[in-house]
Amino acid sequence: MLRPLCSDWTICHAYDCAFFFQRRWPMRNQRIGQLTRCSALYQPGTCSGHSPNPEVPDVALCPEQDTGGWGLDSSLADEGSCNIDIRDATTITHAQFLEEYAYTKPVILRGLTDNRKFRFLCSKPSLLREYRDKTVRLSTANTHSYRKVDVRFEEFVTLLLTPQSEDTLGSDTLYFFGDNNFTEWHSLFEKYNAPPYSLPRTSPAYSFGIAGPGTGVPFHWHGPGYSEVIYGRKRWLLYPPDQAPEFHPNHTTLHWISHSYPNLEEHNTPLECTIRPGEVLYFPDRWWHATLNLDTSVFISTFLG
């Protein structure tokens, strides 16, 4: 994110500085002037922002504190490294995106859109209030997602949204992502501001999900798209189309990271990074990718078909 020269410290505090101070990676394309300004003003663990928009509560301006009621219990600490390009919206145009990334490699984009309203609507109390009795379809979290189960949204959140252990098979994990009823969820999706950098001759399709710590989807591939985390953190691992990773389709990403990842030779390591709220990861067509939710995470993908 890191917009240049925040005119309002409230916004700077919530959307700029906090992301740097919560990161483990050095600099990440920060501007020195901004870093100095934020260093002088930032107080870890505090947020005194007030929303300039009456439709967006103050808490939505404090992403470093606000978990949306989803909590951080059983979160995983290891974010891994980050070797994917990170570009601020002020430093890349649509034309540059098409030339440098759209067909060649992943990129993480910051500050593309303002989704504060959508973020507030995705809080746990808001979603339960609106969709408590709606039916959601869960899929098994393996490469081919064979089995699907329909449950009430409240049942999923209160009983099934739990941390996943390393020895749990993907076929035994029920994952809420996609298969959304767009009629029932339309009022939520219409508040989402999708990444504006489209690809020629494609149209967007949304897939919305919520998942517990340790869950994720093992390696697979499909067409191009974007992934944005609304709450929580999601670790991404990617390989180009001509470099298929070795993996068991029914083992989870958590198992792969624990058992296969440490033994990879240097030339066979993936591109990877952990994304947080305010960051959007773009993946090109047919790139292999696996995901791991480090916290209870709320997320949305925009597939370009």
Which of 39, 34, 27 lies closest to 7, judged by CA?
Answer: 34
Looking at the structure, do residues 208 and 297 belong to the same domain, yes or no? yes
Residue 124: how many CA atoms within 13 Å on its side-chain side? 17
Residue listed under structure tokens 């609106």: 130
Domain that holds residue 47: 9-61
Looking at the structure, do residues 254 and 140 belong to the same domain, yes or no? yes
Over residues 52-60, the mean pLDDT reads: 45
- CA–CA gap between residue 169 and residue 84 (Å, rounded): 29
**pLDDT at residue 152 tops 90:** yes
Over residues 146-175, the mean pLDDT reads: 83
Planar angle of CA 154, 159, 165, nearest 5 degrees:
135
Domain count, the chain: 2
**pLDDT at residue 20 tops 50:** no
Q: Of 157-166, 186-195, 225-234, 238-247, give the lowest mean pLDDT range.
A: 157-166
For residue 201, the domain's CATH number is 2.60.120.650
**What DSSP letter does each residue of 15-73 carry, written as one string?**
IIIHHHHT--SS-TT--HHHHHHHHHH--TT------SSTTS-GGGG-TTT--TT---T
Over residues 257-273, the mean pLDDT reads: 96
Q: Is 67 within the bounds of a domain?
A: no
DSSP label of 220: B
Q: Is 255 within the bounds of a domain?
A: yes
